[in-house]
Amino acid sequence: MTVEQILAELVSIDSVSARSNAEIISYLEARCEALSFRVKRFPHTDETGAEKINLVALQITSQAEAYATVELALIGHTDTVPYDPTWTEALKLTESDGKLYGRGACDTKAFIAATLTAIESIDLKRLKKPLALVFTADEEIGCLGAKRLADARPFSARYAIVGEPTSLHPMRAGKGYCLAEITVRGQEAHSAYPQLGASAIFRAARLVNRIEEIAEDLKSDARAEFDPPYTTLNVGLIEGGTAKNIVAGECRFTLEWRTIPGQESDYVLSLVKRAVDELQALYPDFRCELVAARADESFETGADSPLVHFLEEASNKLSSTVAFGTEAPSMIALGADAVVFGPGDIRVAHRTGEFVPIGQLNESASILREAIEHFCR
């Protein structure tokens, strides 16, 4: 089968994150078993009751190596974002102008099709070091499958290529993504008698001001390879009060921050907590709750890693940094040098009419084949 035919089969299996991914996992499992990979499912039931499965397929040279350290892991997520019902060909791979269209054609079934093509074109018996293929669930809703797998520690890996549309640019580092919900409390009162209450909105405004100052201060901790080169903060949502003539009793807002590597994900949270303490010292009845809702770590693989060197040479492109969340931190948690790499452009992913250029699809299949031969032989 050609890489395009495999991609067509993958796209035809509806695997939006809201559904179970059991069907696409069964497909991948069968293909891997046909090549004598040792496969293992890591199933669980998600909060909607749907079965979600991570699949690990190992090519090992001896029983002793099972679930020990693999030399190279290739990771592709099986889920896709939803598609608009008016996109009638979302599940039917269609070619036009050298591009292949379909939901997931770019993100990230193209990488998976390239991976399957790579392993089917290699004499696997000649590999001396273990290779792992990892197919995950629920990447699009917070890299949940990869995080579970990292917790389960089914193997450790020396090198990992994380499939995502990067237009075949090796991405060796990425910012973290964190979120907190902040609730500031006051005391309701008739707005004609504000002295009888305390405005949660005025109080929240003071804290938001402090957060803006923290964002300003963080600019001095810069990493040139990122754009922008520092940790960024955003207060994206704010909500408070119940009526124009009531002193607001409560005000809630979200704080999001994207950390540069080298900065712990909860560093910003500790700065905000310090600002809250200072406000409490100034205004003894200042009351505030902080709930950390998400903390995806940043990641970085050294520019001198053999994996970075290999992918730079094979793609003929210099490595850079990635601006969106990926499964790379989970692979780093499993001990790997991780690089994000794959065909297609992230800017066309997640939209109606996402596509992968056929040229990049074929090129990625041969680069992945070379990678397996380079690292596992």
Catalogue the active-site residues.
Answer: 79, 139
Taking CB under 5 A as the binding criterion, the range among 104-112, 226-234, 291-299, 311-319 that sits at the site for Zn ion is 104-112
CA distance linking residue 160 with residue 377, whole number of Å: 16
Taking CB under 5 A as the binding criterion, the range among 15-23, 108-116, 271-279, 327-335 that sits at the site for Zn ion is 108-116
Nearest residue to Zn ion by CB is 107
The footprint of Zn ion on residues 141-180 (CB under 5 A) is: 164
CA distance linking residue 153 with residue 122, whole number of Å: 27
Nearer to Zn ion by C-beta: 127 or 338? 338
Shortest Cβ distance from residue 136 to Zn ion (Å)? 10
User: Going by C-beta distance under 8 Å and a sequence separation of 6 or more, which residues neighbour residue 318?
Assistant: 169, 312
Instruction: Indicate whether 78 belongs to the interface with Zn ion (CB under 5 A).
Output: no
Instruction: Indicate whether 107 belongs to the interface with Zn ion (CB under 5 A).
Output: yes
Nearer to Zn ion by C-beta: 20 or 108? 108
The amino acid present at 320, given as its one-letter code, is S
Nearer to Zn ion by C-beta: 176 or 343? 343
Question: In 57-108, where does DSSP find H-type helix?
Answer: none
Shortest Cβ distance from residue 139 to Zn ion (Å)? 6
Taking CB under 5 A as the binding criterion, the range among 41-49, 105-113, 297-305, 309-317 that sits at the site for Zn ion is 105-113
Shortest Cβ distance from residue 7 to Zn ion (Å)? 15
CA distance linking residue 267 with residue 253, whole number of Å: 19
φ/ψ bin of 325: left (φ > 0), alpha (ψ from -120 to 50), beta (otherwise): beta
Nearer to Zn ion by C-beta: 58 or 349? 349
Nearer to Zn ion by C-beta: 111 or 230? 111
User: Going by C-beta distance under 8 Å and a sequence separation of 6 or more, which residues neighbour residue 267?
Assistant: 259
Nearer to Zn ion by C-beta: 82 or 241? 82
Angle at 248 between CA 242 and CA 249, to 5 degrees: 100
CA distance linking residue 297 with residue 373, whole number of Å: 31
Nearer to Zn ion by C-beta: 130 or 325? 325
Shortest Cβ distance from residue 93 to Zn ion (Å)? 17
- 247 closest CA partner among 183, 201, 184, 182: 201
Counting residues that bind Zn ion (by CB under 5 A) gives 3
- Which residue in the set 108, 117, 315, 360 belongs to the binding site for Zn ion (CB under 5 A)? 108
Taking CB under 5 A as the binding criterion, the range among 2-10, 59-67, 106-114, 365-373 that sits at the site for Zn ion is 106-114
Nearer to Zn ion by C-beta: 59 or 166? 166
CA distance linking residue 312 with residue 130, whole number of Å: 23
Shortest Cβ distance from residue 15 to Zn ion (Å)? 12
Give the Å distances, CA to CA, from 374 to 106, 176, 204, 306, 367.
26, 30, 56, 10, 10
CA distance linking residue 35 with residue 365, whole number of Å: 17
Instruction: Indicate whether 297 belongs to the interface with Zn ion (CB under 5 A).
Output: no
Shortest Cβ distance from residue 232 to Zn ion (Å)? 22
User: Going by C-beta distance under 8 Å and a sequence separation of 6 or more, which residues neighbour residue 178?
Assistant: 256, 257, 258, 259, 265, 266, 268, 269, 292, 294, 295, 296
Angle at 50 between CA 45 and CA 56, to 5 degrees: 60
Shortest Cβ distance from residue 74 to Zn ion (Å)? 14
Taking CB under 5 A as the binding criterion, the range among 17-25, 103-111, 170-178, 179-187 that sits at the site for Zn ion is 103-111
Sole residue written with tokens 């931190």: 329
Shortest Cβ distance from residue 346 to Zn ion (Å)? 8
Taking CB under 5 A as the binding criterion, the range among 60-68, 107-115, 218-226, 230-238 that sits at the site for Zn ion is 107-115
Identify whether 228 is preceded by a cis peptide bond (ω within 30 of 0).
yes
The footprint of Zn ion on residues 305-344 (CB under 5 A) is: none
HSE value, Cβ hemisphere, 13 Å, CA-based, for 276? 15
Catalog residues that contact Zn ion under the rule CB under 5 A.
Answer: 107-108, 164
